[in-house]
Homo-oligomer: A and B are copies of this chain.
Amino acid sequence: MRFQRNVTQISTKAYSTLAGLDAGKVKVSPSSLLKPLTASQDLVFGRTFTDHMITVDWNDRQGWLAPEIRPYENLSLAPSAIVFHYATECFEGMKAYKDKQGRIRLFRPDMNMARMQNSTSRICLPYVHMDDRWIPTERGYSLYLRPTMIGTQEALGVKSPTEAKLFVIGCPVGPYYKTGFAAIKLLATTEYVRAWPKGTGDAKIGANYASGLLPQRLAAQEGYQQNLWLFGEDHQLTEVGAMNVFILWQNDNDDLELITPPLDGSILPGVTCDSILQLARSWDEFKVSERTLTMPELRRAIHQGRVREVFGAGTACVVSPVKAIGYQGEDLPVPLDPTDPQAQAGPYTKRFYDAILDIQYGDVDSPWSVVS
């Protein structure tokens, strides 16, 4: 329900034309030259790419043309292609894992594909098998898949795409942060706003990311790894970097409560976010709320020692524990694990991480992990 509502919003807002892709006829052109693999420990997020990619072209006269799996190579596009001018682009991020039996597993691919409103999940299957050797086997490592769609018609008039290209590329990845599973510091920014009601914050489109690059660089200059995006005069928490945000605290009624902001149209409906909510509700150990929380409320709770854990959640890093939040000139400390001074994550953050990885690698049976 929760997700469905947003899928509809996204599909209406971004590319409603993706449905109806006929994946029946996939043309396969294997690469004649396979690149040397990169050692897992040398992987930098999003820098190493596999041997193949999928491309599918679309235009408003013929619809979807035949998908093709072919060697990873440059795209040749006119400099007037609309994607270079008006940011007509959307994407997804998902991962393929290898289980102990060597089988390839995708984590909840239906949600990513529903979000992109298309049927590439079917054409992904032969693709991940062709690039099988690029899927690392170590825990924490996987093949990151990036379905992307760009508008391609050669026309500078400001109008909707009449031609588009969908492609899927894959890159073997380890932990998103070079520091590994290490707690990060957030800067709660009051100078920049990520998204707005009746805007596009709930769609996975390039436009939502471009505007965050400068604030992120400025935060980094002050020693913070990510921005904590706020909204409104009352400084409501919305997202952290390019992730959803979670707060576990003793609330004003002294109940233990896990909070994430509600999907009100300006929050991206994350697959990891949804997974954490479902896991937390199945554990039934604390209250789980999708509701608004403001920085002044959070600051007061931190001062009173009522905040247990804060973390970001997203496909790239799964969970990202937070150890401090800079807000209005003050660094608010967030506890990690009180029983272990060396720990880089709180016990529940770690538990969510382990539970999700157990599913992703097939160590625990779950319909979320789809053997391919």
Chain A positions within 8 Å of B, measured between CB atoms, are 12-14, 44-47, 49, 53, 72, 74-80, 83-89, 91, 144, 146, 148, 150, 154-161, 167, 169, 171, 176, 191-193, 196-200, 205-214, 216-217, 241-242
Check A76–B74 contact: CB distance below 8 A.
yes
- The residues of B that contact A13 with a CB separation of less than 8 Å are 214
Check B157–A46 contact: CB distance below 8 A.
yes
Check A200–B211 contact: CB distance below 8 A.
yes
Q: A80-B49, A89-B85 are in contact. Are A213 and B158 (CB under 8 A)?
A: yes
Cβ-neighbour of A197 out of B53, B80, B193 (below 8 A): B193
Check B77–A242 contact: CB distance below 8 A.
no
- The residues of B that contact A91 with a CB separation of less than 8 Å are 84-85
Cβ-neighbour of A84 out of B47, B49, B89 (below 8 A): B89
Q: A205-B87, A214-B160, A242-B158 are in contact. Are A77 and B74 (CB under 8 A)?
A: yes
Q: How far is the CA of A92 from the CA of B240 in the complex (A)?
A: 32
Check A78–B74 contact: CB distance below 8 A.
yes
Cβ-neighbour of A207 out of B72, B80, B158, B206 (below 8 A): B206
- The residues of B that contact A14 with a CB separation of less than 8 Å are 214
In angstroms, how far is the closest chain B Cβ from the Cβ of A7? 16
Q: A76-B76, A85-B89, A86-B209 are in contact. Are A158 and B198 (CB under 8 A)?
A: no
Residue in chain B with minimal CB distance to A153: B47
Q: How far is the CA of A210 from the CA of B72 in the complex (A)?
A: 27
In angstroms, how far is the closest chain B Cβ from the Cβ of A105? 21
Q: A191-B198, A193-B197 are in contact. Are A86 and B210 (CB under 8 A)?
A: yes
